[in-house]
């Protein structure tokens, strides 16, 4: 067996495991999924991220076989699955509601899929026991789903979906029904299980933080189309559009006009305040073109004393402070006529009761040319 790359999507000519080609799905006049194509590679934990009604669940249901696409095709591991019914696909799904069969015990729920495949009784028993051990529910096999807690039900659903060793596991909002602490813990469990089983996961979620932590790659969806597909860091640091910049994390957005250029660093002008900034970009931009400058709150340094060594510096007055413990978010009124959001870690324990930076303090803000990016729309 050849050594498989940990990042197959980065390589030219790698063979995709799931290939979605020009898929469109219409319900009457409504287009839920609009002519999209996507390649997912073996062993990926792929995140489909978007708000409600963006088409992510429809896409997942087409992968499972519950909906058939209006046009386009789905290929899984070299076989065309477009017209294959759900019960013949090498794909299993974990439902948002978990959909555990209420009249069957936990064991019977997990064994159900194996029995449908005609697996020998002894093997069924063994594999169910293995799965129960994996999700740490060995003592709960005889219980009915209604006798389990939410987190336990979630794990039974996961075990039931994995026991058939599917080529692809589809997860519909797998953590949405859990409370915050359990969600964080389960995130890591999911990643562990994915790592151990080597099954390709496709996760649908509306929670951008969940998508960032879980996924090898994320596709951001809106109105039935992909806005951007990339690794979490790529999407965060290089959002394709203003929408994504704001959907994944938050960003300060400034309308600017391109000026001169030297060494891939452009001079841009914020016209309303006639303030100039520098931004690096490897794209060829024309002078006079209008762009939006996007700047993440944590990429701005905030200080009470004047800053040196920063390519862009402005002053401002702190109007609001949100203290979050490990970091604080400041809303700073600037001479640009807009309020900039800045976050800074609380590295030093403040002496006494006061914060280091207080309301109405005059502060200095600074960032480098490569901290900001230019977006077209």
Partner 1 sequence: MKAKRSRFLLGMLCFGFAFLYVPIILMMIYSFNYSKLVPVWGGFSTRWYTTLFQSEDVWAATALSLKIALLNATFATLLGTLAGIALSRIHSFRGRTLFTGMISAPLVMPEVITGLSLLLLFITLNQLIGWPAERGITTITIAHITFSMAFVAIIIQSRLAGTSRDLEEAALDLGAKPFRVLWDITLPQLAPGMVAGWLLAFTLSLDDLVIASFVSGPGATTLPMLIYSRIRLGLRPDINALATIIILTVTIGVLIAGWIMIRQQRASAQDAEHS
What is the contact surface with partner 1 in residues (CB under 8 A)? 64-66, 85-88, 91-93, 95, 97, 99-103, 112-113, 116-117, 146-150, 153, 160-161, 164
- In sequence order, the β-bridge partners of residue 49 are 205, 220
Which residue number, 148 or 229, has a Cβ lying nearer to partner 1? 148
Query: Smallest gap, in angstroms, from Cβ of residue 202 to partner 1?
Result: 14
Which residue number, 140 or 330, has a Cβ lying nearer to partner 1? 140
**Assigned token pair, 365:** 């803000």
Which residue number, 13 or 87, has a Cβ lying nearer to partner 1? 87
Which residue number, 111 or 294, has a Cβ lying nearer to partner 1? 111
Which residue number, 161 or 314, has a Cβ lying nearer to partner 1? 161
DSSP string spanning 148-198?
A: S-HHHHHHHHHHHHHTT--SEEEEESTTTTS-HHHHHHHHHHHHHHHHHH-
Query: Smallest gap, in angstroms, from Cβ of residue 146 to partner 1?
Result: 5
Which residue number, 177 or 321, has a Cβ lying nearer to partner 1? 177
The phi, psi pair for 86, rounded to 5°, reads -55, -35
Give the C-alpha separation, 335 to 47, whole Å: 40
Query: Smallest gap, in angstroms, from Cβ of residue 94 to partner 1?
Result: 9
**For residue 290, how many C-alpha atoms fall within 13 Å in the half-sphere facing its CB?**
5
| CA dihedral over 62, 64, 67, 72, signed as positive or negative | positive
For the chain, give the number of residues. 377
Give the C-alpha separation, 202 to 327, whole Å: 33
Give the C-alpha separation, 121 to 142, whole Å: 17
Query: Smallest gap, in angstroms, from Cβ of residue 264 to partner 1?
Result: 51
Query: Smallest gap, in angstroms, from Cβ of residue 63 to partner 1?
Result: 11
Query: Smallest gap, in angstroms, from Cβ of residue 303 to partner 1?
Result: 51
Q: Which runs of consecutive H residues, i.e. helices, occur in 46-179?
A: 56-64, 106-116, 121-134, 150-162
The phi, psi pair for 147, rounded to 5°, reads -95, 10
Which residue number, 55 or 113, has a Cβ lying nearer to partner 1? 113
- Is the distance from CB of 75 to CB of 18 less than 8 angstroms? yes
Residue with tokens 């001169």: 260
Query: Smallest gap, in angstroms, from Cβ of residue 84 to partner 1?
Result: 12
């Amino acid at each position: 067996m050849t050594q498989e790359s940990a990042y197959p999507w980065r390589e030219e000519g790698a063979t995709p495991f799931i290939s979605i080609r020009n898929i469109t799905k219409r319900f009457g006049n409504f287009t839920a999924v609009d002519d999209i194509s996507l390649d997912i590679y073996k062993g990926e934990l792929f995140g489909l991220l978007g708000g409600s009604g963006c088409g992510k669940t429809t896409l997942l249901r087409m992968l499972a076989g519950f909906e058939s696409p209006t046009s386009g095709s789905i290929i899984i591991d070299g076989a065309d699955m477009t017209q294959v019914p759900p019960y013949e696909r090498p794909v299993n799904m974990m439902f948002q509601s978990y959909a555990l069969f209420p009249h069957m015990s936990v064991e019977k729920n997990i064994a159900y899929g194996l029995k449908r495949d005609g697996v020998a009784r002894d093997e069924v028993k063994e594999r169910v026991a293995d799965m129960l051990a994996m999700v740490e529910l060995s003592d709960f096999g005889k219980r009915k789903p209604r006798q389990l807690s939410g987190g336990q039900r979630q794990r039974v659903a996961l075990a039931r979906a994995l026991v058939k060793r599917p080529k692809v596991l589809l997860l519909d909002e797998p953590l949405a029904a859990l409370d915050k602490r359990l969600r964080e813990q389960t995130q890591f469990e999911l990643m562990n299980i994915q790592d151990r089983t080597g099954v390709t996961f496709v996760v649908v979620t509306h929670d951008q933080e969940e998508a960032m932590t879980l996924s090898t790659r994320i596709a951001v969806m809106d109105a039935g189309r992909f806005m951007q597909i990339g690794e979490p860091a790529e999407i965060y640091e290089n959002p394709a559009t203003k929408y994504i910049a704001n959907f994944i994390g938050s960003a300060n957005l400034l309308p600017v006009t391109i000026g001169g250029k030297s060494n891939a660093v452009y001079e841009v002008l914020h016209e309303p305040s006639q303030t100039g900034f520098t931004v690096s970009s490897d794209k060829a931009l024309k002078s006079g073109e209008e762009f939006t400058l996007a700047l993440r709150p944590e990429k701005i340094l905030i200080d009470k004393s004047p800053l040196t060594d920063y390519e862009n510096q402005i002053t401002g007055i702190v109007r609001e402070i949100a203290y979050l413990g490990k970091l604080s978010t400041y809303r700073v009124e600037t001479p640009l006529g807009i309020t900039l959001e800045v976050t800074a870690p609380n590295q030093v324990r403040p002496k006494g009761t006061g914060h280091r930076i207080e309301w109405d303090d005059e502060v200095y803000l600074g960032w480098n040319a490569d901290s900001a990016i230019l977006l077209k729309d």
